[in-house]
Amino acid sequence: MYLALYRKFRPETFDGMLGQEHIVRILTNQINGGTTGHAYLFCGTRGTGKTSAARLLAKGVNCLSEGARPCGACASCDAIRDGVFVDVIEIDAASNNGVENIRELRESVKYPPALGRRKVYIIDEVHMLSGGAFNALLKTLEEPPESVMFVLATTEPQKLPATILSRCLRLDFRRVPAAVIGRGMRDICDRMGVAATDEALALLASNADGSVRDGLSLLDQCVSSGEKAITRDTVLDLLGSPGEEGLLELTRLTASGDASGALLLLDRLLAEGRDERQLMKDWLEHFRNLMLIRHLKRPQDMMNMSGESIERLREQGAGLSAAFINDSIFGLAKILNDARWFTRPRVLLEVGMIRMASPFAAGDTARAAPAAPPVPQPEDTTRAAQAVQQPEDTTRATPAVQQPEAATPAAPAVPQPEDTTRAARTAPAAGPDLTETWISAVTEAGKSKPTAARLIGRSSLTGIGDGVFTVEVFDRFSKGAAEGAAGPLEAAMERIAGAALKMECRLNEGGRPPRPAKAPTARRQEAEDAPPDASPPEGQLEIGFAE
């Protein structure tokens, strides 16, 4: 019968364990020193070697060799490897989780070992035991006979009662690095005579997600495909991944706002047999790599990629903003999570791609790398400074007062170009204009960042100048919403003001935003234009307007 690779190449000695050097050091020292305990708890994610380490521990305490144990060659080691050693009992707690099963275990514990030195009980997925079963196991686990050893293995140690945890020596298994899994795969391929490129094994190891068993299962799939040599293209076809070129092109299209092109490329990739969920995972990993490249001087230390691929990612990341990369990561993670319960994950992916691209299809530059603010020309800034000095509200006429000619005031000095530039940028606009400007900016930013729309009525724009605009918020929740939507808000203000601006957010608890100016009605306008001593027209009541 054909054995899967993860069963065929299960380690026979501690030297064959991958990526768990701290576990190997503890167990070998205890076996060689004769200080093994009576209860162990092996914790860790799937495929990290918990069951293999439990069997090696059982071999070590029953090995007949006089040297290093386990030797992997004596009669006891061979019997344990073949699963016929009567003193090593493996129990699946997922299907034997009742009180009656634990009672049977307690009865069998009374009998001494038949062949070996110690009787070893390996209870896999121990967190599946019921509450009554845990209580029934407590006393036996705390004080078993001298010849009995318990090894409990679980992927969810948080589900175990504290009374069980306190009675065991806990050892935590770590995720195995991709480089270590790749070396293990290379050794297996050499022993099997299978030709495989380093790029193919690196891709398999990265998709194993720290699990040796998952990596060997993927390698088994590639070996069974019948290909003479395992290449990167072979792995991509079997995994259903879009490949590096497809991910770069998808990112380019969405970043440039080309939703149509992105949808057509997605259709072509899926028509070639790509898997929707695998594409989401790979695209999410692509944005993670773009994020790492922005923050690491040597990204190759954390990314299993060639130098050429890293340079291509660096070139693409230089034209993208951090806000776009972060929003894409959160968006794809949510789509991937929702796809677990959706019968057609492709629809979710298409909606997500349109949402990523559409807010920027009209020329918005929020996801592009920030550019230097334009420097206004002297003649433009002079005009801007003069415009700022004009009165804002001209609806109410002011009677002219004649002054003697000798007392006519001199014309104000016109500031120089360098002064008018600062005057145009720092002079605050009138309250209603700031309010309307802020409402327009928040409304526009809310199209790409829905939380920004909550700022209306909870914040106000208090000033614009020196390349910044100041926002005042009136509760801590709104402050978090404003800071979270800083990118879209700055992009909206840049479009309105015509220059790059940074946001400064200030908290003023208990404050209130200014109300936008309302256009006066015809009757109200007549009342405002009338002289102070004028009486209301005949037949009309004098009604005051509440401001």
Per the CB < 8 A criterion, the answer to whether 438 and 461 are in contact is yes
Neighbours of 362 (CB within 10 A): 9
Confidence (pLDDT) at 467: 84
User: In this structure, are 249 and 349 located in the same domain?
Assistant: yes
CA distance 511 to 503: 19
Confidence (pLDDT) at 250: 92
User: In this structure, are 350 and 326 located in the same domain?
Assistant: yes
Domain total for the chain? 4
Q: What is the rounded average pLDDT of the residues 354-374? A: 56
Task: Considering only residues 391 and 136, tell me which one the structure prediction assigns the higher pLDDT.
Answer: 136
User: In this structure, are 71 and 146 located in the same domain?
Assistant: yes
CA distance 62 to 519: 93
β-strand partners of 42: 153, 171
Task: Give a yes or no: residue 88 inside a domain.
Answer: yes
Within 224-357, residue ranges assigned H as helices are 232-239, 243-255, 259-271, 276-295, 307-318, 322-338, 345-357
How much is the mean pLDDT over the chain?
A: 80
User: In this structure, are 451 and 477 located in the same domain?
Assistant: yes
CA distance 60 to 57: 5
CA distance 260 to 432: 40
Query: Which letter, b or e, does each residue of 514-542 get, where b requires 16 or more Cβ atoms within 10 Å of its Cβ?
Result: eeeeeeeeeeeeebeeeeeeeeeeeeeee
User: In this structure, are 148 and 189 located in the same domain?
Assistant: no
Task: Considering only residues 389 and 129, tell me which one the structure prediction assigns the higher pLDDT.
Answer: 129
Report how far apart, in Å, the C-alpha atoms of 183 and of each of 13, 18, 137, 217, 447 are: 17, 9, 41, 15, 48
Task: Give a yes or no: residue 373 inside a domain.
Answer: no
% of residues, the chain, pLDDT over 90: 37
Q: What is the rounded average pLDDT of the residues 92-96? A: 90
Q: What is the rounded average pLDDT of the residues 208-220? A: 90
User: In this structure, are 88 and 158 located in the same domain?
Assistant: yes
CA distance 398 to 395: 10
Query: Which letter, b or e, does each residue of 94-131 get, where b requires 16 or more Cβ atoms within 10 Å of its Cβ?
Result: eebbeeebbeebeeebeeebeebebbbbbbbbbbbbee
Task: Give a yes or no: residue 77 inside a domain.
Answer: yes
- pLDDT band (50, 70, 90) for residue 368: low
Confidence (pLDDT) at 235: 86
Least confident of 210-219, 222-231, 353-362: 353-362
Quick: pLDDT tens for 515-533.
Answer: 544 444 444 445 445 554 4
Confidence (pLDDT) at 252: 92
Rg, Å, the chain Cα set: 36
Task: Give a yes or no: residue 399 inside a domain.
Answer: no
What single DSSP character describes residue 19? S
The sign of the CA dihedral 239, 242, 247, 251 is negative
Confidence (pLDDT) at 400: 43
Q: In this structure, what CATH number is given to the domain that contains residue 479?
A: 3.30.300.180
Task: Give a yes or no: residue 346 inside a domain.
Answer: yes
Quick: pLDDT tens for 17-37.
Answer: 998 999 999 999 999 988 999
Q: In this structure, what CATH number is given to the domain that contains residue 296?
A: 1.20.272.10
Most confident residue range from 2-11, 229-238, 390-399: 2-11
User: In this structure, are 351 and 454 located in the same domain?
Assistant: no
Structural domain range at position 195: 178-239
Task: Give a yes or no: residue 463 inside a domain.
Answer: yes
Tell whether the model's pLDDT for residue 256 goes beyond 50: yes
Per the CB < 8 A criterion, the answer to whether 226 and 207 are in contact is no
β-strand partners of 275: none
CA distance 375 to 519: 36
Q: Which amino acid, residue 426?
A: T
Task: Give a yes or no: residue 477 inside a domain.
Answer: yes
- pLDDT band (50, 70, 90) for residue 343: confident
Confidence (pLDDT) at 543: 40
Q: In this structure, what CATH number is given to the domain that contains residue 140?
A: 3.40.50.300
Q: What is the rounded average pLDDT of the residues 428-453? A: 74
- pLDDT band (50, 70, 90) for residue 369: low
Written as one string, the DSSP assignment of 405-474 is GGGPPPPPPPPPHHHHHHHHHHSPPPHHHHHHHHHHHHHHHHHH-GGGGGGTTTEEEEEEETTEEEEEES
Tell whether the model's pLDDT for residue 170 goes beyond 70: yes
- pLDDT band (50, 70, 90) for residue 306: low
User: In this structure, are 278 and 191 located in the same domain?
Assistant: no
- pLDDT band (50, 70, 90) for residue 291: very high
Least confident of 92-96, 108-112, 457-461: 457-461
CA distance 90 to 119: 11
3-state secondary structure of 136: helix
CA distance 418 to 234: 64
User: In this structure, are 36 and 158 located in the same domain?
Assistant: yes
Confidence (pLDDT) at 451: 77
β-strand partners of 503: 469
Q: What is the rounded average pLDDT of the residues 425-445? A: 67
Confidence (pLDDT) at 434: 82
Tell whether the model's pLDDT for residue 121 goes beyond 90: yes
Return the structure tokens found at 547.
């401001």
CA distance 449 to 461: 18
Quick: pLDDT tens for 172-201.
Answer: 999 998 889 999 999 999 999 889 998 889
- pLDDT band (50, 70, 90) for residue 425: very low
Confidence (pLDDT) at 272: 80
End-to-end CA distance of the chain: 89
User: In this structure, are 193 and 257 located in the same domain?
Assistant: no
Task: Give a yes or no: residue 487 inside a domain.
Answer: yes
Burial of residue 3 (CB within 10 Å: 0-12, 13-18, 19+) is exposed
User: In this structure, are 252 and 103 located in the same domain?
Assistant: no
β-strand partners of 470: 463, 504
Q: What is the rounded average pLDDT of the residues 295-318? A: 80
CA distance 149 to 138: 14
User: In this structure, are 36 and 115 located in the same domain?
Assistant: yes
Return the structure tokens found at 40.
């162990």
Please name which of 414, 404, 348 lies closest in space to residue 384, comparing C-alpha atoms.
414
Tell whether the model's pLDDT for residue 46 goes beyond 70: yes
Confidence (pLDDT) at 174: 92
Least confident of 88-97, 263-272, 359-368, 499-508: 359-368
CA distance 14 to 69: 9
**What are the two backbone dihedrals, phi and then psi, of residue 89, each rounded to the nearest 5 degrees?**
-115, 120
Q: What is the rounded average pLDDT of the residues 279-283? A: 90
Per the CB < 8 A criterion, the answer to whether 85 and 76 are in contact is yes
Confidence (pLDDT) at 396: 42
For 523, left (φ over 0), alpha (ψ -120 to 50), or beta? Answer: alpha
Confidence (pLDDT) at 520: 46
Report how far apart, in Å, the C-alpha atoms of 343 and of each of 52, 183, 338, 340, 346 are: 37, 38, 10, 8, 9
Least confident of 113-117, 118-122, 217-221, 406-410: 406-410
